[in-house]
Amino acid sequence: MNMNEASLPAGRQGHIHPISSLIREANRIFFDMGFTFVEGPLLESEWYNFDALNVPKDHPARDMQDTFFIKDEPGYVLRTHTSGLQIRYMTEQMKKGMPPPYRVIAPGKCFRNEATDITHEAEFYQIEGLAVGEDISLAHLKGTFRKFFSEIFKGNVEVRFRPSFFPFTEPSIEIDMRLTGETAPEKLRDKWIEIGGAGMIHPQVLENCGVDSKKYQGWAFGPGLDRIAMLKWGIDDVRLMHSADLRFVNQF
Amino acid sequence: MQTFFDSPLPSAEDLSNALTFHAFEIEGIENVRVRNSNMEDQALDVKVTPNRGHDALSHRGIAKEISAILKIPMRVDPLRENPPDGGSLEPRTDTIKVTVEDPMLCPRFTGAYIKGVRVGPSPEWLKTALESIGQQSINNIVDATNFIMFSLGQPLHAFDAAKLTAKRNSWALNIRLARKGETLVGLDDKEYSLSPSMLIIEDANAGTVVSIAGIKGGKPTCIDESTTDIFLEAANWDGVTVRRTSQALKLRTDASDRFQQVISPELAAYGIRAAKDLIVELAGGAIVGYVDEYPQPQLIRQITITTARINALLGTILNDEEVVDAFERLGLPFEKKGGEFVVTSPFERLDLMIPEDLVEEVARIIGYEKIPTTELPEFQKKPDINQNFAATEKVREELVSKGYSEVYTSVFADEGERAVSNKVGGERPYLRATLLGGLREAEVRNARNKELLGLRNIKLFEIGTVWQGGKEKMVLGVADDEGIHESELVSDGKAKRYEAYPISKADRFTPFSKYPFIVRDIAMWVPQGPDAISEVLTIFAQEGGLLLRHVELFDQFKKDDRISYAFHLVFQSFEKTLTDAEANEVMTRITTDVEKRGWQVR
């Protein structure tokens, strides 16, 4: 029981959803590094969600996603990731005659057609990030994540990569992080934690957007925001995010 | 795995680590029992990524990875040995004629006609090997084909030659698309109805289907105890056709899993030769001859890369020697021409197509830990302000300051203009056209917890996507005692910067009880001054213990030198539904304690 609660409710503030708080904070951190916040539709065309990202029809790579299809609207899906926003942004910029450098983040809701449990939700949040230029390397990705996580988790952060596969990046990696030092939350301290996928944007993906892959290169990442929120605040059930339960929301 | 190496391999844990950081995720390590002995071995469950389904869905493929990562040479690499027949599958036989109608769907078909085998149980080592990877032992012939599939990655199938229809002492197989109405009873005793998109093998002399290409063989031509002559098949099938057929028939097999990833047609020759050798060793018999339909041999692919390019993508400072070391460990043949490496893709590595693929090979073999951590340079352009986000942030902050809390509800609803066609479970298939339904539900559910939350009334809002009037829109929904209403959120497009709104200061989330709570009120007269109330709160805490979830002072007034306080006390257990008697008991203890101090409970 919290004795501070023993007060009259008059003038009490409401609470924002923890994911909203995280997006606000992420935007602030990335804005300072030069990243523009972009968004796009949840109901997405297969071109943006799959084809332009090197995921052809009838390819086993499509099995990596459990996709919601829309009745009577062939060619449209509920976006399975925020990665399609890379394509939207770069294509739009090139049409406006604006070649790289680009720095973009795109936090937003995504969908996965599967049964829900304490770690899986059909609706979840991802934060896409993209940096393209003439000399953007994987080393910069490590640096960017270290900065992002050390601000989000208020601690010293180490970032580690493991090999992975995504059709739209080459090389593809998984990102792990480890918090060290006194300021890190005790439950997370000194443990490697899986954060999400990333990689150097596949040259074909750049070309699909009209970007010259001989001249420009860059990376993209797409970790889950629900997962980061669960780690940051010790949330034990992802279904709370969409529960609309104030016993949850009012703790933030 | 050890059979691929001379020098002893490290422990399963070490192998697991090596693969995790340089190749694939490991799903688990299982202990497996060796048959008829007390010995235990360990099996690694490797999650092969879709780009490596071409070559690594096999023990040889994983052995090659281990060899490259740990720098241990393989004793033999079955795909690098020069076969005694020079690779041409000799001797040939014309006893079996194979016709491929469309080589695009079947780039290669190899077969081996073996006479005089004795079908029987497999030896213990083979049974152990198959059982350790969850396979059932069937007989020495079928087990041999399965063993070679898991070893090399080439699926195989054995037909009983006597059950195929002979005409003038010869057989004929035709590879074609199925005709409408054709069926096949599979080895699993199920009958499959075939359609013209599905590729099959036909016994051409009988005009009957004997196998669903690359997926399942048929029951009528299966191997049994009476079998003496077999026709062994190792083919290469179009991945998309196998995948579509497998999905349409809801029939996934170890063979279809491999073919849908696309494997090299070169592999068929290695597979058929190895399976023939193993069958002759286990079941006797002798090869009569091979058939090989391979009209268009696989092209050899060459990729050019420089060390400078690798360093530019990775942000590393590798030298040529380190790059050469990675290529050599992976068994990637290369030539150095000027400053460039010209690398030849081994036939099974269909994933190696562009220079960036080689960058990944070098990166994972030298190890991603060699990549430095470098901050991005300052950005020359100022980021744009996202007007929609700025507008939602402003609304969010205004409502929060007025006591509204933000909720997220599901976009799936019982009604709407659009629906998803394949929702798992099938409930709420519509995309919501309004936030009102979700907010109303949320308001009702939260109202039940008002006292627990310490709220006089429930005030909620949601900023969310709806699909309305044929469009996807962002709307704001607000629910309070006045009612529920929603409006489209449109930005004025004038934000010049993002406001410095506060982020959550919460430290850790505290789980809450799922059981109902009980509210009791208590009012009392106490002396004025700060000491009395803190003493009262201490009494509450002591007597209420873990059951007291929330205290709220809802009324106070002074009279003479005394002050009256009235509290709501909310009780709730984490373990069970609390009874009235249990709450009353705590209230009695609290009352007694308060009165002991000479204060009056009203």
Instruction: Give the tens place of pLDDT for each residue, B7-19.
Output: 999 999 999 999 9
Q: Is A9 a member of any domain? A: no
Q: Is A5 a member of any domain? A: no
- Are B368 and A162 an interchain contact pair (Cβ–Cβ within 8 Å)? yes
Q: Do A5 and A241 contact (CB within 8 A), yes or no?
A: no
A 10 A CB-CB count for B563 gives 17
| Amino acid at the residue B358 | L
Tokens of A112: 């996965």
| Structure confidence at residue A64 (pLDDT) | 63
CATH topology of domain B518-601: Alpha-Beta Plaits (3.30.70)
| Structure confidence at residue B64 (pLDDT) | 97
Provide the number of structural domains found in chain A: 1
A 10 A CB-CB count for B385 gives 16
Q: What is the pLDDT of residues A137-191, one digit of tens each?
A: 999 999 999 999 989 988 888 889 999 999 999 999 999 988 888 877 777 788 8
The Cα B338–Cα B109 span in angstroms is 41
Tokens 């490590």: give the residue: A142
- Are A164 and B49 an interchain contact pair (Cβ–Cβ within 8 Å)? yes
- Are B424 and A58 an interchain contact pair (Cβ–Cβ within 8 Å)? no
The Cα B204–Cα B208 span in angstroms is 7
The interface residues of chain A toward chain B in range 71-90, judged by CB-CB distance below 8 A, are 71, 73, 78
List chain A residues with CB under 8 Å of B441.
Answer: 244
Inter-residue long-range contacts of B118-124, CB under 8 Å, 24+ positions, other chains counted = B118/B228, B118/B283, B118/B284, B118/B285, B119/B223, B119/B224, B119/B225, B119/B226, B119/B227, B119/B283, B120/B225, B120/B283, B122/B282, B123/B282, B124/B35, B124/B36
CATH number assigned to the domain covering B96-293: 3.50.40.10
Residue spans of alpha helices (H) in B448-562? 450-453, 530-544
| Structure confidence at residue A189 (pLDDT) | 84
The interface residues of chain A toward chain B in range 90-109, judged by CB-CB distance below 8 A, are 101, 103, 109
Q: Do A116 and A233 contact (CB within 8 A), yes or no?
A: no
**DSSP secondary structure, B237-277, as one string:** --HHHHHHHHHHHT---HHHHHHTT---THHHHHHHHHHHH
Q: Is A85 a member of any domain? A: yes
Q: Is B363 helix (H, G, I), strand (E, B) or coil?
A: helix
- Are B50 and A27 an interchain contact pair (Cβ–Cβ within 8 Å)? no
The interface residues of chain B toward chain A in range 285-314, judged by CB-CB distance below 8 A, are 312-314
Q: What residues are paired with A157 via a beta bridge?
A: A179
Per-chain mean pLDDT for chain A = 90
- Are A164 and B541 an interchain contact pair (Cβ–Cβ within 8 Å)? no
- Are A6 and B506 an interchain contact pair (Cβ–Cβ within 8 Å)? no
The Cα B350–Cα B352 span in angstroms is 6
The Cα B263–Cα B236 span in angstroms is 7
- Chain B nearest C-alpha distance from A112 (Å): 10
Q: Is A7 a member of any domain? A: no
Q: What residues are paired with B109 via a beta bridge?
A: B235, B293
CATH 3.30.56.10 domain span(s) along chain B: 2-70, 302-370
Q: Do B43 and B27 contact (CB within 8 A), yes or no?
A: no
- Are A160 and B368 an interchain contact pair (Cβ–Cβ within 8 Å)? yes
Q: Was domain B2-70 assigned CATH 1.10.3720.10?
A: no
Q: Do B171 and B205 contact (CB within 8 A), yes or no?
A: yes
| Amino acid at the residue B195 | S
Q: What is the mean pLDDT of residues A209-216?
A: 97
Is A9's pLDDT higher than 70? Answer: no
Strand bridging mode B171-177 / B96-100: parallel
Tokens 């071409």: give the residue: B54
CB-closest option in A33, A144, A249 to B407: A249
CATH topology of domain B387-488: BirA Bifunctional Protein; domain 2 (3.30.930)
- Are A60 and B261 an interchain contact pair (Cβ–Cβ within 8 Å)? yes
Q: What is the pLDDT of residues A234-249, one digit of tens each?
A: 888 899 999 999 999 9
Q: Is B376 helix (H, G, I), strand (E, B) or coil?
A: coil
The Cα B523–Cα B568 span in angstroms is 9
Query: Which one of B49, B509, B572, B590 would you mutate to disrupt binding with A, by most A Cβ within 10 Å of its Cβ?
Result: B509
- Chain A nearest C-alpha distance from B538 (Å): 9
Q: Could you report the predicted ipTM of this complex, rounded to two decimals? A: 0.92
H helix count then E strand count, chain A: 7, 9
CATH 3.50.40.10 domain span(s) along chain B: 96-293
Does any CB of chain B come closer than 8 Å to the CB of residue A147? yes
The Cα B147–Cα B155 span in angstroms is 9
- Are B314 and A16 an interchain contact pair (Cβ–Cβ within 8 Å)? no
Tokens of A225: 């925001």
| Structure confidence at residue B450 (pLDDT) | 87
Across the A:B interface, residue pairs with CB atoms under 8 Å apart total 292
- Are A165 and B52 an interchain contact pair (Cβ–Cβ within 8 Å)? yes
Triad B521, B523, B526: Cα angle to 5°: 150
**DSSP secondary structure, B176-236, as one string:** EEPPTT-EEEBTTS-EEE--TTSEEEEETTTTEEEEETTTEEBGGG---TT---EEEEEEE
pLDDT confidence band for B78 (50 / 70 / 90): very high
Q: What is the pLDDT of residues B131-162, one digit of tens each?
A: 989 999 999 999 999 999 999 999 999 999 99
Q: What is the CATH number of the domain that holds A133?
A: 3.30.930.10
Residue with the larger pLDDT of the pair A61 and B273: B273
Taking CA–CA distances from B568, the nearest residue in chain A reads A6
Taking CA–CA distances from A148, the nearest residue in chain B reads B375
Q: What is the mean pLDDT of residues B464-470?
A: 95
The Cα B88–Cα B85 span in angstroms is 6
Taking CA–CA distances from B399, the nearest residue in chain A reads A14
Does any CB of chain B come closer than 8 Å to the CB of residue A122? yes
Is B602's pLDDT higher than 50? Answer: yes
Residue B372 CB burial class (10 angstroms; 0-12, 13-18, ≥19)? middle
Is A61's pLDDT higher than 60? Answer: yes
- Alpha carbon separation from B142 to B126, B155, B162, B275 (Å, rounded): 11, 11, 16, 10
CATH number assigned to the domain covering B302-370: 3.30.56.10
With a pLDDT cut of 90, the percent of chain B lying above it is 79
Return the sign of the alpha-carbon dihedral for residues B98, B99, B103, B106.
negative
| Structure confidence at residue B508 (pLDDT) | 87
- Are B49 and A165 an interchain contact pair (Cβ–Cβ within 8 Å)? yes
Q: Is A50 a member of any domain? A: yes
- Are B396 and A16 an interchain contact pair (Cβ–Cβ within 8 Å)? yes
pTM over 0.95: no
- Chain B nearest C-alpha distance from A82 (Å): 15
- Are B260 and A7 an interchain contact pair (Cβ–Cβ within 8 Å)? no
Per-chain mean pLDDT for chain B = 93
Taking CA–CA distances from B401, the nearest residue in chain A reads A13
Q: Do B453 and A15 contact (CB within 8 A), yes or no?
A: no
Is B93's pLDDT higher than 80? Answer: yes
The interface residues of chain A toward chain B in range 162-221, judged by CB-CB distance below 8 A, are 162-165, 167, 170-174, 185, 200, 202-203, 217
Most confident of the following: A30-44, B414-428, B527-541: A30-44
Is B59's pLDDT higher than 90? Answer: yes
* B10 preceded by a cis bond (ω within 30 of 0): no
CATH 3.30.930.10 domain span(s) along chain B: 387-488
Task: Give Cα B288 to chain centroid, integer Å.
Answer: 45
Tokens of A172: 């593809």
Is B34's pLDDT higher than 60? Answer: yes
| Owning domain of residue A190 | 16-249
Tokens 């990675």: give the residue: B326
Q: Is A102 a member of any domain? A: yes
